[in-house]
Amino acid sequence: MGSTATVRGSEIAEVLGALGDVLDAAPQTVWELPSLCEGWRVKDALAHLVWRVGTPSLEFAGDIVRESVKGRHLNPMNAMDDIAIELAAAHSTDELLAMLRTTEADKRAGRGRLNAGELTESVVHGYDVAHPFARLPVAPDVTRRVAKAGLMMAPHRVRITVRHRTLVASDAGWTIGDGPDLVATAESIVLFIFGRRAIDDGYTRILAPAPIQPPKLA
């Protein structure tokens, strides 16, 4: 996800720290809830996040190669899926939280990958983890940048929406798109741009735009 543009490590650390605080305050039962990543529990999604953002680059690449060979995967994304599930199975929730806090400290100290892709991963997967049970606080400027970056690889339905609607982040003071306003939270807009869908009627904080009418030709 995202570009390689450099960002401040503190920005990534703030997102990871906020997620850690949300998880610290949550009951143990939330770990088994379905996350917004299809087929993953909250625990699985957090395992992916700490591996994806916290693993040094050489080790990260090596993990993908080994898992691709072991699982006979041609698509690296499938290898990443296996890594997340295996990591979640191998570690307790306390251990995963400790990994999250270690990664937070590393980013704050300027260690590891510090780029827009890592910030995007932290925000989107942070929302994936927290969304089923809590609000994840993210700085307004960070949500704006992540939303704009996401449009570059957004699903077709999202790009069509943004051509005909202005998505208004009511809690963050930014807009994206063109046309009549659709008002939602920054979280909702970011999740929509990154292709997330509501799991069921209890997960309605993802933007569901009105049907798009094709423009009339003169």
Residue 214 lies in a domain: yes
What tens digit of pLDDT does each residue of 43-88 get? 999 999 999 999 999 998 998 998 889 888 888 888 888 899 999 9
Note the pLDDT of residue 199: 64
3-state secondary structure of 178: coil
Q: Are 37 and 124 in a shared domain?
A: yes
DSSP string, 135-171: -----HHHHHHHHHHHGGG--HHHHHHHHH-EEEETT
Select from 105, 135, 165 the last residue of a domain: 135
Average pLDDT, stretch 162-176?
93
Looking at every residue in the chain, the average pLDDT score rounds to 89
Are 192 and 152 part of one and the same domain? Answer: yes
Separation CA 98–CA 104 (nearest Å): 10
Which domain does 209 fall in, by range? 139-218
Q: In the predicted model, is pLDDT for residue 201 greater than 60?
A: no
Return d(Cα 169, Cα 187) in angstroms, integer: 8
Q: Are residues 57 and 119 in the same domain?
A: yes
Residues 130 and 58 in one domain: yes
- Name the token pair of 30: 């939330």
d(CA 67, CA 50): 17
What are 184's strand-pairing partners? 169
Same domain, 149 and 184: yes
* Residue 183 shares a structural domain with residue 123: no
Q: Are residues 20 and 111 in the same domain?
A: yes
Supply the pLDDT for residue 3. 59
Q: Does residue 1 sit within a domain?
A: no
Integer Cα distance of 21 and 130 in angstroms: 11
Most confident of 11-25, 62-76, 171-185: 11-25
Single out the residue in 120, 135, 150 at which a domain terminates. Answer: 135
Evaluate whether residue 3 is within a structural domain. Answer: no
Asked if residue 4 belongs to a domain, the reply is no
Together in a domain, 38 and 95 = yes
Q: Verify that 145 and 130 share a domain, yes or no.
A: no
Task: Name the domain count of the chain.
Answer: 2
